[in-house]
Amino acid sequence: MKHLAFNPYLPTWEFIPDGEPHVFDGRLYVYGSHDLYDGDVFCLQDYTVWSAPVDDLGDWRCEGVAFRKTDDPRNTDGRMNLFAPDAARGPDGRYYLYYVLDGRGTVSVAVSDAPGGPFRYLGDVRDADGALLGERPGDEPQFDPGVLTEGDRTYLYTGFSGPQDATRHGAMATVLGPDMLTIVEEPRFIVPGGAYAGGTSFEEHPFFEASSIRRHGDDYVFVYSSAAMHELCYATSKSPTGGFVYGGVIVSNCDLGIADGKPADKPMAAGGNNHGGLVEVGGQWYIFYHRQTNGTWYSRQGCAEPVFWKDGRLAQVAMSSCGLNGGPLPADGRYPADIACHLFTPDQPVYAGVPGQPRIKRDARDGEHGSGYIADIRDRTVIGFRSFDCHGVKTVSVWTRGYTRGTYQVMTAWDGPVLAEIPVDFSNSWVERKAALALPDGVHDLYLRFIGGGQTGQGLGGSLKAIGFGKD
């Protein structure tokens, strides 16, 4: 990589969750919905596409607004938001964007001559008689389209199924013809929702939402969000329209379920809903997902992790700070605090939205390109960064602000021995604090545990903007 890559992989001011990655003509494109920082509902902004060259996944470029919510002729007043989309290259060489409007249960399609758009509205998925999928008698509402085009057939995967909602059966697959709109094979249910998963391989991880589909060798790999919401699971089949068997969890946005140097049942961040897809770039596979920021469910940022196939299966991967980097980050210089992949307290809840918990914020108003930082740091908050390639490290620094007094304990494991202590005190502006830290050469994680309290004695008010490594 020519540029360092972090999690989140886009600039700190961009909030594109539900990321579906696809490689077109030497670039990796990500299609997702678009949250607003400090928004109070999901998906408040227009679709914006970003891309990076396949040989430099730290060099992201904004392709611009690809499709506005008002570009759909039924939404000229913009009152309906654009939910999670997906894209495919059709047999005619053009690019097709599949989406569902907030409040509708049908799948709409837009088309462009370029993968980054702009896209123009084309129509809605329909049968040969013109009736829209999702509005016909017996149809279930459509949601979260995922698409895969092979030859002149496009496989469309959709669905939403509450944990005990017997009116929704689960994920469904529908086959479209070469026009990318017309149904040639009617929907079939492929992964059961919670009300129908009993006695199946999906019983512990039933389908909830976030359909995504890829091909890996002879297997069709269906990625979805389970009823737990924070995890992305997968299922495989030799057929695109049936026979799927549960495979496992790929990633959790609070690291539940993985015992990677911690108890499997310990949340390492505030989780929430999750959505993403798999992609192969240069022989390496990655899973894209999103995290929650700002202490809510509505300001989500895209992240990615490398994953590894073994005998056709994937093991759950832990969250990291270096995602697409191809390896650990060099422990040299300064890094923004909001690349922390772990952020938790002793009473850490599984889901975001609990008042008083530390959160990732931004020093800017909506529409401004400000820098991110971690706020509301209270006593015994732990902040974790994974991972750094350390050579000759002699000092560690933190940049802090706020009405808080205490000490940052420096460790290389969340529950490891304290290797250094950095005292901090009240400050109205960002101040660097430094301590000696002699790390042995090699790859290490970095964890900071704050011990102290705020001005009011409630343990609130501290903020962290950056960390740094020194070699002298």
Q: Which of 18, 86, 219, 255 is catalytic?
A: 18
Residues 6+ away with beta carbon under 8 Å from 79: none
SS (H, E, C) the chain: CCCCCCCCCCCCCCCCCCEEEEEECCEEEEECCCCCCCCCCCCCCCEEEEEEECCCCCCCEEEEEEECHHHCCCCCCCCCCECCCEEEECCCCCEEEEECECCCCCCEEEEECCCCCCCEEEEECECCCCCECCCCCCCCCCCCCEEEEECCEEEEEECCCCCCCCCCCEEEEEEECCCCCEEEEEEEEEEEEHHHCCCCCCCCCCEEEEEEEEEECCEEEEEEEECCCCEEEEEEECECCECCEEEEEEEECCCCCCCCCCCCCCCCCCECCCCECEEEECCEEEEEEEEECCCCCCCEEEEEEEECEECCEECCCCCCCCHHHCCCEECCEEEEHHHCCEEECCCCCCECCCCCCCEEEECCCCCCCCCEEEEEECCCCEEEEEEEEECCCCEEEEEEEECEEEEEEEECCCCCCCCEEEEECCEEEEEEEEEECCCCCEEEEEEEEEEEEECCCCCCCEEEEEEEEECC
Instruction: Kindly indicate the confidence band of residue 129, based on its pLDDT and cuts at 50, 70 and 90.
Output: very high
Q: Which of 72, 144, 209, 379 is catalytic?
A: 209
Residues 6+ away with beta carbon under 8 Å from 396: 410, 420, 422, 434, 435, 437, 446, 467, 468, 469, 470
**441 labelled catalytic:** no
Query: With contact defined as beta carbons under 8 Å apart, do 320 and 7 qualify?
Result: yes
**209 labelled catalytic:** yes
Domains of the chain as residue ranges with CATH: 20-325 (2.115.10.20), 332-470 (2.60.120.260)
Give which of 267, 256, 262, 268 is closest to 416, Cα–Cα: 262
Place of tokens 């979805």: 224
pLDDT at site 363: 85
Left, alpha or beta for 192 (phi > 0: left; psi -120 to 50: alpha)?
beta
Q: What percent of the chain has pLDDT over 70?
A: 97
Predicted TM-score (pTM) of this structure: 0.97
Q: 164 pLDDT exceeds 70?
A: yes
Instruction: Kindly indicate the confidence band of residue 472, based on its pLDDT and cuts at 50, 70 and 90.
Output: confident
Between these two residues, 280 and 260, which has the higher pLDDT value? 280
pLDDT digits (tens, 9 = 90+) for 33-65: 999 998 999 999 999 999 999 999 999 999 999
Instruction: Kindly indicate the confidence band of residue 459, based on its pLDDT and cuts at 50, 70 and 90.
Output: very low
Q: What percent of the chain has pLDDT over 90?
A: 94
Query: With contact defined as beta carbons under 8 Å apart, do 391 and 441 qualify?
Result: yes
CA dist 408 and 359 (Å) reads: 17
Give which of 460, 204, 229, 224 is closest to 352, Cα–Cα: 229
pLDDT digits (tens, 9 = 90+) for 359-376: 999 987 655 677 899 999
pLDDT at site 464: 97
Average pLDDT score, the chain: 96
pLDDT digits (tens, 9 = 90+) for 84-128: 999 999 999 999 999 999 999 999 999 999 999 999 999 999 999
Query: With contact defined as beta carbons under 8 Å apart, do 20 and 86 qualify?
Result: yes
Angle value at C-alpha 351, between 345 and 356, nearest 5 degrees:
45
